[in-house]
Structure 1
C-alpha cells in the first residue's frame, strides 16, 4: 500500500484559521476527523466496544485513540500485531525490534506477554494535541504512521523469515517452524 499524503484532500471548512495568518489551519483533532481521513485513504474502519476507532487488517489491527483531557490530550495510533510468539522467542524479538526502533521514528514497537504465555508485538506513535496541531501536520503524520505500521509488518515477516514459514504451511519449501502467519493482503479486512 502506498499512500501519498499530498493525495489526501483538504478538509476545508472544518478547522479554524491559523492566528498567525500564514494560511495553515490549526485543529484539535477528533474521531470524526480521523474517520474522514481513513475514508479518504479508502481504509475500512469501525468503532470498537470501547469507543476506539480501529482499522483491521488480516494480521494486525490499528487503533486511533484519544486519551487525556485539555492541554494533556494525546492522539495515539497503536497497532496490535496478531502473530503469536512464545516466551522463548522474546530474546530474538527484542533484538529484532531494537533494530527497528533504532532505525525508524515510528512506530516504536515493544512486546506484550499475555497471561497464556503468548507474546505479541505492539507498535505505537503519539502526538500531543491538547493545544491544537496544524491540520497538514496531523494528516501527514497519521498517514505516515499507518504506512509505517504496514511496513513494520512486512519488515518483521521478512526479517524473521515468517513468509517462508507461511509458504511451508501452504505446501512450499522446507522451513524451521516458528510463527504462524503471513502478511497476505495489504488492506484492512472487513469488520
Structure 2
C-alpha cells in the first residue's frame, strides 16, 4: 500500500498534483513502518532505522521516532520526540511550569521531563494513536504530519518561552540553533 499524496496536508507549499496512489477515499489500513517511511519520503524528511528497529527522523536539536508497540507490535502507534537540549536539575520547576502551559494550550505533542542519572533534565514530546482493527489512511497521514509539525513548533516555542533565542541569535554552539529542518548527513 502506498500513501495517497493528496492526503498529505499542505502547510503553505505548492499543491501536489500527483494522482492518488492509495485506495479511493483513503480506505482503512493497518499502518506499519513501511507506510511511515513512504510518508517521510514524500515529506522529504531524512530518516533512519536505529539499532532497536525504530524509525527516526533526526533534526539538529531533536529526534522524532515513529514506533509501533503492543500486541503483535501493531496495537499502538506513537510518535515520540526526544529534544537534545539539557537543563540543570534546579531549573526543573520552571521547566515544568512552562511545559504545563504548552500541555494546557495544545493537543499534541504532550511534553514531559526526563531526569537522567547525571541530573540533566531533557524534554520528551509524545502523541499516540490506537490502531485497533485499522485506521483511515487520511486520518493516519494527517495525524502523523500534524504531530511532526507540532514537534517542530514546540521546539521553537520552548526556545521563545525560556528566552533561549538569544543563544540561537548569537551563533553560540548552544542547542537553540536549529532552523527546524531535518539534519543533513
TM-score by length of 1: 0.83
1:181–1:24 CA distance, 2 compared to 1 (3 A): closer
Q: Shift of residue 161 of structure 1?
A: 0.7
CA contact under 8 A between 1:69 and 1:130: conserved in structure 2? no
Which runs of 5 or more residues in structure 1 are unaligned?
Answer: 18-22, 171-178
Q: Deviations over 1:106-164 (max 9, x none)?
A: 00000000001100000000000131000000000000000000000000001101011
Question: 2:94 — aligned with what?
Answer: 92
Question: 1:173 — aligned with what?
Answer: none
Question: 2:180 — aligned with what?
Answer: 186
CA contact under 8 A between 1:76 and 1:126: conserved in structure 2? yes
TM-score by length of 2: 0.85
CA contact under 8 A between 1:78 and 1:123: conserved in structure 2? yes
Give yes or no for the alignment of 1:53 onto 2:55. Answer: yes
Q: Shift of residue 186 of structure 1?
A: 2.2
Separation in 1 of the partners of 2:51 and 2:74?
24
Separation in 2 of the partners of 1:46 and 1:169?
28
Runs of 4+ in 1 over 4 A off after TM superposition: 6-11
Separation in 2 of the partners of 1:35 and 1:183?
27
Equivalent residue pairs, number:
172
Question: 2:3 — aligned with what?
Answer: none
CA RMSD of aligned residues (A): 2.2
